[in-house]
Amino acid sequence: MAAAVYASTVSLGFNFTQHYSSSEVATAVDNLPYLGETPLNIDSALNVATEQIFTTDRENIPDVLVIFVSTTLSGNFTAISKTLREEGIKIIVVGVGSSFDIEQLESIGDHVITISYQDLDVMEEGVGGAVSEAVDPCASFPCQYGGNCSRSGSNFTCSCPSGFKGPTCEQDVNECLSAEPNCTHEKHCINTWGGYQCVCSGGRYGSHCQYGKCI
């Protein structure tokens, strides 16, 4: 893990190669300085991430950048963040309070979380879930109706169960339009969600439609 603090200037707290245990990281985070400056010049912070932080990351480990924002931003942050994302870095932006510009946050990150100051004690769960999903796209169980998720880099593919199709198995297969149904004995096919049924026509019933209603 690495961390930096930014305002009008940027202070690099520690890099990936400095702390390796959770207790060391927690202590280092507690010792990060408070700059107390305005405005938030986030493009300088993104440049530090590009030039000083992610140059020391480990190979074959997903890169995730979490940015905390509490007010309106200044600087050329859109172009820099786009470059980071094109390099495969997942960006999660956390808007804290109510003074930030949500459109600015959405222009920076792949995932945006907003939280009030009163709810900061539960922020860890939301941020942790977003990071887990960025690292492992199958962590959010995107495949519906029992589909199996397979990770491929930062993407995923779903193997859908019988009766479903689509990128996340969200679509029903109309078996009645395929050659699959074998509706014999004067039965016709009715599509159902995730399957189909063969039913008798003309008010008849029975396994072979051999019975009819008496009028």
Q: Would you list the domain boundaries of the chain? A: 3-135, 141-171, 174-215
Given a cut of 70, is residue 208 above it in pLDDT?
Answer: no
CATH class entry, domain 174-215: mainly beta
Of the listed ranges 21-25, 99-103, 148-152, 202-206, the one predicted with least confidence: 202-206
Which pLDDT does position 144 carry in this prediction?
Answer: 93
The amino acid that residue 171 corresponds to is Q
Backbone phi, then psi, for 196, in 5-degree steps? -160, 165
Given a cut of 60, is residue 166 above it in pLDDT?
Answer: yes
Strand pairing report for 195-200 and 187-192: antiparallel
Question: Is 141-171 assigned to CATH 3.10.20.340?
Answer: no
What whole-number distance in Å separates Cα of residue 205 and Cα of residue 110? Answer: 56
CA geometry: angle 74, 39, 88, nearest 5 deg: 45
Fold of the domain built from segment(s) 3-135: Rossmann fold (3.40.50)
Residue where the block lists tokens 């699959």: 180
What whole-number distance in Å separates Cα of residue 168 and Cα of residue 77? Answer: 33
8 A C-beta contact, residue 150 and residue 157:
yes
Which pLDDT does position 179 carry in this prediction?
Answer: 67
Query: One fold for both 141-171 and 174-215?
Result: yes
User: How far, in whole angstroms, is CA 119 from its chain's centroid?
Assistant: 22
Which pLDDT does position 215 carry in this prediction?
Answer: 55
Task: Write the CA distances from 7 to 11, 41, 44, 84, 215, integer angstroms.
Answer: 9, 6, 9, 20, 85
46 CB burial (10 A radius; 0-12, 13-18, 19+): buried
What whole-number distance in Å separates Cα of residue 120 and Cα of residue 122? Answer: 5
Which pLDDT does position 161 carry in this prediction?
Answer: 92
The count of other CB atoms within 10 Å of the CB of residue 67 is 22
Higher per-residue pLDDT: 132 or 214:
132
Instruction: Name every residue whose Cβ is closer than 8 Å to that of residue 11 and which is 6 or more positions away in sequence.
Output: 4, 5, 32, 33, 35
Given a cut of 80, is residue 135 above it in pLDDT?
Answer: no
Residue where the block lists tokens 């063969």: 198
